[in-house]
Structure 1
Amino acid sequence: MSHTTGADAKGHYFVPAASNYSTTLSIGIFLMALGLILKVNAMPEGAWAMPLGAAMIVYVLFGWFGEIIHENLNGSYTQWEDRSYRTGMVWFIFSEVMFFACFFGVLYYARRIALPELASYEEALNPYMGFTAAWPSSGPMGDPFTPMGPWGIPAINTLLLLTSGATLTWAHWGLIKGNRSHLIWGLALTVLLGAIFLGFQAYEYAHAYSELGLTLGAGIYGATFFILTGFHGMHVTLGTIMLIVILGRCMKGHFSEHNHFAFEAVAWYWHFVDVVWLILFVFVYWL
């Protein structure tokens, strides 16, 4: 089958050759999940299933994205593909919004509905004597802990992410204006700020476990704290990796003022991560 290209005057969209990458990726994800389950249940098979699944995922990421980059640089894509990728990225970010909305919903339910209801039982019917709905709370059966305050590392991390949004915007502006120096330096600073954020978060977790008694055993507060901050940290990690890839491509001369959707997609993702952190800072650390 002959493939149409971006030079096709009829405006046909590009049809890539058949690929096994999606199947390989599915198997890799399955093996990683299976390996984790086996590992948690102390079964020796988990020790090889997880690394094998991870290796398959890495293989797909390098191979599949490499092919897409090659197709783009060869001019295979038209406005059809550009719209398709943009629409796909919008829906992906929307799914991420819904993902975090679920966990913020859990936090709201626990604070505004569940805890007040537990504390409102009549004394004769209340199995948790002396329990109040005051927040932060480990719930009626959680371990005692010291809550994480908003100032210190959380405030520093907020400043880091806000600054990283500015440096990424500066890099984008450099790309649009054809200033490669601003583009590369802006991306490099964004990567550095993201890495510093992750370093501070790792220190915060160690401090919480060793000195504050704030663990996953600290009831509803510990659970919501680590779920929200942990998943956000995972997204910062993925965003930093994507920024490193885009930085490498920029250093090789990829992208132009009018053709740089991969850069924009990563920028959208990073700004989304920034916004989530601001909401998280207010409702998890501050209020």
Structure 2
Amino acid sequence: MSGSYYIPSETKWPFLSTVALIILFVGLSNYLNDESDLTLMFTGLALLMVVVYGWFSYVIKESEAGIYNSQVDMSFRWGMAWFIFSEVMFFSAFFGALYYARELSLPWLGGDGAKVSTNIVLWPQFENVWPSNGPENYGGDFIYMKAAGIPAINTLILLTSGLTVTWAHHGLKEAKRNQLIWGLIATVLLGFLFVGLQAYEYMHAYSDLNLKLTSGIYGSTFYMLTGFHGFHVTLGAIMLTVILIRCINGHFTSQNHFGFEAVAWYWHFVDVVWLGLFVFVYWL
């Protein structure tokens, strides 16, 4: 019926993904606190990969069966839009924490302006400098991460990947298959290159700069912001890989390709977040 609306049947995937994420993060938390090895974390990661594969396959089969109409398509679009909005709020909270630490907490503890008594009475040794490693050098000596080098290269990589995914999108809309495939291949490679360079940056920061999670407010905000963004880039690169495979198999047409558009929206979002990170975490 033309006015019918497809209602998906009950599914186990949301429950299983929740279980996998709980196992993954409990394992990671235990490892970071030296309470266990990485076995539990990798168990959760393996289960999550199985769930993602099963869930993606299920949705793809529904799409290819042609049971989604315009109402379902609009539901998907609103769902993705609200998901990205929730991610905007997520990162806004982290950027807000960085702003609060730099512009409010540090001047207060350092005794700037009318807050001089706070510094004299409570923290006489504290200086309002950024990067800060806490009162009385609590976080230990470290070297801050500069914008030049890997961060600047990663900025160029992500901006270029935004261009290549847009080029691929135009290829899809204009039925130019080679442009679509090669644009996606370039985007996927650039995405994983970014992740690899950030992993190298972390090793350099930890071993050569002595920059750790315990390195005061600077270390915690640095790893919090860049780490969660790196996770989102990894997730986006995986989704782009799935979209690439689907494009190779001819799953999309110039009129019907919201799966591609949703991932492209997400990829542009992580591009914008990175620009904010580059300016406020690395540069300023």
Name 1:267's counterpart in structure 2: 264
The answer to whether the Cα contact below 8 Å between 1:115 and 1:139 also exists between their aligned partners in 2 is: no
Name 1:277's counterpart in structure 2: 274
Name 2:123's counterpart in structure 1: 127
Structure 1 position 52, deviation (Å): 4.3
Q: Which one-letter code corresponds to 2:220 in the other structure?
A: A
1:214-271 C-alpha deviation (Å, 9 max, x unpaired)? 1112101111111111111111110100111100111111100010001000000000
Name 1:3's counterpart in structure 2: none
Distance of 2:225 and 2:10 partners within structure 1: 39
1:100–1:172 Cα change, 3 Å: same
Structure 1 position 207, deviation (Å): 1.3
Structure 1 position 176, deviation (Å): 0.3
Distance of 2:16 and 2:218 partners within structure 1: 39
1:113-132 C-alpha deviation (Å, 9 max, x unpaired)? 00000010336414342x22
Q: CA RMSD in A?
A: 1.9
The answer to whether the Cα contact below 8 Å between 2:132 and 2:218 also exists between their aligned partners in 1 is: yes
Which of 149, 152, 156 is equivalent to 1:152? Answer: 149
TM-score normalized by the length of structure 1: 0.90
Which of 68, 80, 86 is equivalent to 1:77? Answer: 68
1:240–1:124 Cα change, 3 Å: closer
Structure 1 position 146, deviation (Å): 1.3
The runs of at least 4 consecutive aligned structure 1 residues that moved more than 6 Å come to none
1:64–1:203 Cα change, 3 Å: closer
Distance of 1:199 and 1:54 partners within structure 2: 19
Gaps of 5+ in 1: 1-7
Distance of 2:46 and 2:20 partners within structure 1: 8
Name 1:4's counterpart in structure 2: none
Gaps of 5+ in 2: none
1:71–1:156 Cα change, 3 Å: same
Name 1:42's counterpart in structure 2: 35
Structure 1 position 41, deviation (Å): 6.2
Q: Secondary structure at the match of 1:212?
A: coil
Instruction: Give the alignment of 1:179-198 within 5 angstroms.
Output: 179-198=176-195
Which of 233, 237, 242 is equivalent to 1:240? Answer: 237
The answer to whether the Cα contact below 8 Å between 2:109 and 2:123 also exists between their aligned partners in 1 is: no
Structure 1 position 16, deviation (Å): 2.6
1:27 aligns with 2:23: no
> Comparing 21-30 with 151-160, which one deviates more in the overlay?
21-30
Distance of 1:65 and 1:152 partners within structure 2: 37
The answer to whether the Cα contact below 8 Å between 1:228 and 1:280 also exists between their aligned partners in 2 is: yes
Q: Which one-letter code corresponds to 2:196 in the other structure?
A: G
1:157-186 C-alpha deviation (Å, 9 max, x unpaired)? 111100000000000000000001000000
1:199–1:28 Cα change, 3 Å: closer
Name 2:47's counterpart in structure 1: 56
Name 1:137's counterpart in structure 2: 132
Distance of 1:166 and 1:92 partners within structure 2: 23
